């Protein structure tokens, strides 16, 4: 294996290719900074809409029937297990487990005794 050596002119000036690379790097850095600023300006709006979506999902789960929650939990859990067996990336499996966890905890919350007791009138009619 031969060693290669490069020599530069003794003038101390940089080559045109190196100057072009520096300019391109500077342009790319300013473009990234501009896009990051645009994303940062939209972040509060995205957080508010995400919060609204999560609150709506929680409200629907609380209002849903036990059967619907059990089926949703089973479906989400089955999907996650199938993805795991199929070799999907773990982050996707974890994301698939989020709805199963939320619905499962809602079911557990209902059966753990924190559900309001039925009134006397409700017991007579049932």
pLDDT digits (tens, 9 = 90+) for 20-79: 877 888 888 888 888 888 888 888 887 888 888 888 888 888 888 888 888 989 999 999
The 3-state DSSP class for residue 87 equals coil
Tokens found for residue 37:
């600023």
Which of residues 120 and 36 earns the better pLDDT score?
36
Which of residues 97 and 53 earns the better pLDDT score?
97
- Does the pTM surpass 0.85? The reply is no
Number of C-beta neighbours around residue 80 at 10 A: 21
Q: What residue spans define the domains of the chain?
A: 25-63, 65-114
Type and span of the H or E element at 106 = helix 90-111
């Amino acid at each position: 294996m031969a060693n290669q050596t490069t020599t530069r002119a003794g003038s101390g000036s940089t080559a045109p290719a190196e100057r072009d690379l520096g300019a391109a790097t500077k342009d790319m850095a300013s473009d990234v900074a501009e896009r990051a600023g645009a994303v940062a300006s939209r972040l509060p709006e995205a957080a508010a809409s995400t919060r609204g979506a999560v609150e709506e999902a929680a409200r629907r789960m609380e209002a849903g029937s036990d059967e619907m929650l059990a089926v949703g939990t089973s479906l989400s859990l089955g999907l996650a297990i199938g993805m795991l067996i199929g070799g999907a990336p773990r982050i996707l499996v974890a994301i698939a487990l989020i709805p199963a966890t939320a619905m499962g905890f809602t079911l557990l919350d209902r059966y753990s005794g924190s559900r309001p007791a039925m009134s006397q009138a409700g017991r007579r009619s049932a």
